[in-house]
Structure 1
Amino acid sequence: MSDMKPFRFGVVAESGEAAETQGLIALAGRAEELGYATLTLRDHYVTEPFGDQLAPMIALTAVACATRTLRLGTLVLANDYRHPVMLAKEAATLDQVSGGRFELGLGAGWLRDEYEQAGMAFDAAGMRVDRLEEALAILRGMLGGEKITFSGEHYRLRDLEVFPRPRRRPPLLVGAGSRRMLGIAGRYADVAGILPRALPNGTISDEISERMPDTIARKARWVREAAAAEGRDVELSMIVSPAFGDDPRRTAAKVAVLRGWGTASAELVLDMPSQFVGPPEHIAEQMLERRERYGFSYYVVADSDMDAFAPVVELLAGR
């Protein structure tokens, strides 16, 4: 694949340590020392399925003040939880506080239980995605320093610009699993975070088919095609699950059992673009091969895997 981007790596902070400010700051400091490019936070206010979390924009402000080179990101904010004008101002402020290190990740919102516990309408997926697309158009314009007049089905603005004005527009990441969402990521985002599909019942698909090579290749192609139609180039990202062990096949069998796919699925696990198994050197080789095949260059791991994954970061970051 031509025009491959250099590798960079991120951490999504979701452990108990990250749910307390000083613990999050300490975790961010370790990530920076280990050579990770970004520290990211999710956007949920119910405990399940990711544990208790701090409010991401405020917590990332604390991290910005305690680090020097680490980039800060949301992975991802649910669009329905904030009006895009308010979000533009918060993003512009955090970008200024961090010296231009903020990356704004946004999605359509998917966790039905969260909406319902908060008394929010969990609209049909099409309507939530419509809102996201309008919000992205507004955010790209405002964070790009434009004065915006916008009249859509969901948002209406007149002669509005953001303060503080970013010196350059913060990168936008869109988390996407369906064909329409992947096309939106290609048209609007700087980074497409490729995910399994969100289901109408308000969960994320755990189907093994969503993790297979042909499915991931097709999703990456949909992003690239939408981006190319707009004359754009989009970085491809994925949250990955490394599993370390001297024997890749034996390690893959353990992963298959833990995920409920059965030992017969071990060979499938070895080929899954989101699963990396074996010693660090083997995982690094897998990443080089999969960048060539799919185009992924930005990988994110859970903070619980951060230390174990650090040798892979050392082998590949910037290559």
Structure 2
Amino acid sequence: MRPFRFLATIGDNDGYSDLIPFARKAEAMGCSGFVIPDHLMGLAPLLPLAQVAAVTERLRVGTFVLNNSLRHPAVLAQELATLDRLSDGRLDIGIGAGWNKPEYDAIGIPFEPVGVRIKKLAEAIAIIKGSFGDGAFSFDGEYYTITDLDDIPTPVQQPHPPFFLGGGGKRLLTLAARQAQVIGLAPRILAGDVPRLDAPSITAAATEEKIGWIREAAGERFAEIELNTYPTGGPTVITSEPRAEAQRRADRIREKTGVELTVEEILESPHTYIGSAKELTAKFLELRERFGISSFLIDDLDALAPVVEALAGQ
């Protein structure tokens, strides 16, 4: 069993005015990482992460996750290597294919089919990893071309910082199984002008299927992969009446998606944090035992403090 790791985060619409005390608090509580999302409507992630690294000693910093469509991978490689050096080797590289169509529309870039976005992501990962090596680097792909790129700074972590890839579909999870050190088990997002949750993909049964895809694609390296999950469909709720809250959650999901989920499916979901601190501690232990999930993004540091203090590093 891998030891538990907890990732703290701050909302992408927050002004980050409390960023420094929040990061210090997360480190003192036992969180192992601090991650920031990447959306155009919020502050950019890499500069605040440099600030977090500067005011902490052990806390790893990372993105959850970068949208590959928004940056050229060679430019991103330079920025990531710089951040890894500024943090003295504490960077985790979270990167994804992009999913939020309104962001693409707002800046006039095409929201290409998911297969194209995943192919571009695969090439971008190859470029980022290749750029971190010694000597000139070239790459001739379908979407990117690099010719004798040299002198990008090398990261402290060699051959590269850990990659975090996540997704809810088989194609992206297959790529993650072959390229990532940490894989986020995400729900599927249904494409459209207003992206929405594919509700059945948050269930334990769907999680089991996703892990099966990862295991098949990873082969022998599956044992080296850390699995992560995070709350979806609603925030963490600490309550002595979890079934009542789960029913309210199920009702909201039905109203938004038309999908019927049972109270049991909601409470069993790896993406739902509902219950007392004691119950959630037991749930995280069960998720590690059943699925091998040992990394958890937490959306409410204060509410989950007893869970983190009980399980971090165990």
TM over 0.5: yes
1:19 match? 15
SS at structure 2 position matched to 1:117: helix
Letter in 2 for 1:5: R
Q: 1:207 to 1:289 in 2, by over 3 A?
A: same
Distance in 2 (CA, whole Å) between partners of 1:268 and 1:260 is 13
Letter in 2 for 1:25: I
Q: 1:15 to 1:115 in 2, by over 3 A?
A: closer
2:293 match? 296
Q: 1:38 to 1:194 in 2, by over 3 A?
A: same
Q: 1:166 to 1:277 in 2, by over 3 A?
A: same
Out of 114, 134, 141, the residue aligned to residue 130 of structure 2 is: 141
Tell me the CA shift for residue 8 of structure 1. 0.4
TM-score of the superposed pair, with normalisation by structure 2:
0.90
2:139 match? 150
SS at structure 2 position matched to 1:109: coil
2:153 match? 164
1:50 match? none
Pair 1:223-2:223 in alignment? no
CA contact (8 A) 1:176 1:182 kept: yes
2:35 match? 40
SS at structure 1 position matched to 2:302: helix
Q: Deviations over 1:21-48 (max 9, x none)?
A: x4222221221122111111111112xx
1:248 match? 242
Letter in 2 for 1:247: E
SS at structure 1 position matched to 2:190: coil
Letter in 2 for 1:198: I
SS at structure 1 position matched to 2:57: coil
CA contact (8 A) 1:144 1:166 kept: no
Distance in 1 (CA, whole Å) between partners of 2:239 and 2:136 is 54
Tell me the CA shift for residue 312 of structure 1. 0.4
Pair 1:104-2:93 in alignment? yes
Between the two proteins, the alignment pairs up a number of residues equal to 306
CA contact (8 A) 2:230 2:270 kept: no
Q: Deviations over 1:209-258 (max 9, x none)?
A: 11111111111221222122667721111112432112332342343345
Tell me the CA shift for residue 11 of structure 1. 1.6
Q: Deviations over 1:245-283 (max 9, x none)?
A: 123323423433454469983222121121132211211
CA contact (8 A) 2:240 2:275 kept: yes
1:8 match? 5
CA contact (8 A) 2:40 2:103 kept: yes
Q: Deviations over 1:96-153 (max 9, x none)?
A: 1011111110000111111111111111111111100111112223335575321110
1:1-319 to structure 2, matched below 5 A, reads 4-14=1-11, 18-20=14-16, 22-46=17-41, 53-143=42-132, 145=134, 147-161=136-150, 163-168=152-157, 169-201=160-192, 204-228=195-219, 233-240=224-231, 241-260=235-254, 265-302=262-299, 305-319=300-314
Q: Pairwise CA RMSD of aligned residues?
A: 2.2
SS at structure 2 position matched to 1:306: coil
Tell me the CA shift for residue 196 of structure 1. 1.4
Of 36-45 and 237-246, the range deviating more from structure 2: 237-246
CA contact (8 A) 2:131 2:152 kept: no
Distance in 2 (CA, whole Å) between partners of 1:159 and 1:212 is 47
Tell me the CA shift for residue 156 of structure 1. 1.4
Q: Could you list the runs of 4 or more consecutive aligned residues of structure 1 that deviate by over 6 angstroms after TM superposition?
A: 261-264
Of 79-88 and 244-253, the range deviating more from structure 2: 244-253
% identical aligned pairs: 37
Q: 1:199 to 1:256 in 2, by over 3 A?
A: closer
Distance in 2 (CA, whole Å) between partners of 1:205 and 1:264 is 16
CA contact (8 A) 1:276 1:283 kept: yes
TM-score of the superposed pair, with normalisation by structure 1:
0.89
Which stretches in structure 1 are left out of the alignment for 5+ residues? 47-52
CA contact (8 A) 1:34 1:310 kept: yes
Q: 1:233 to 1:134 in 2, by over 3 A?
A: same
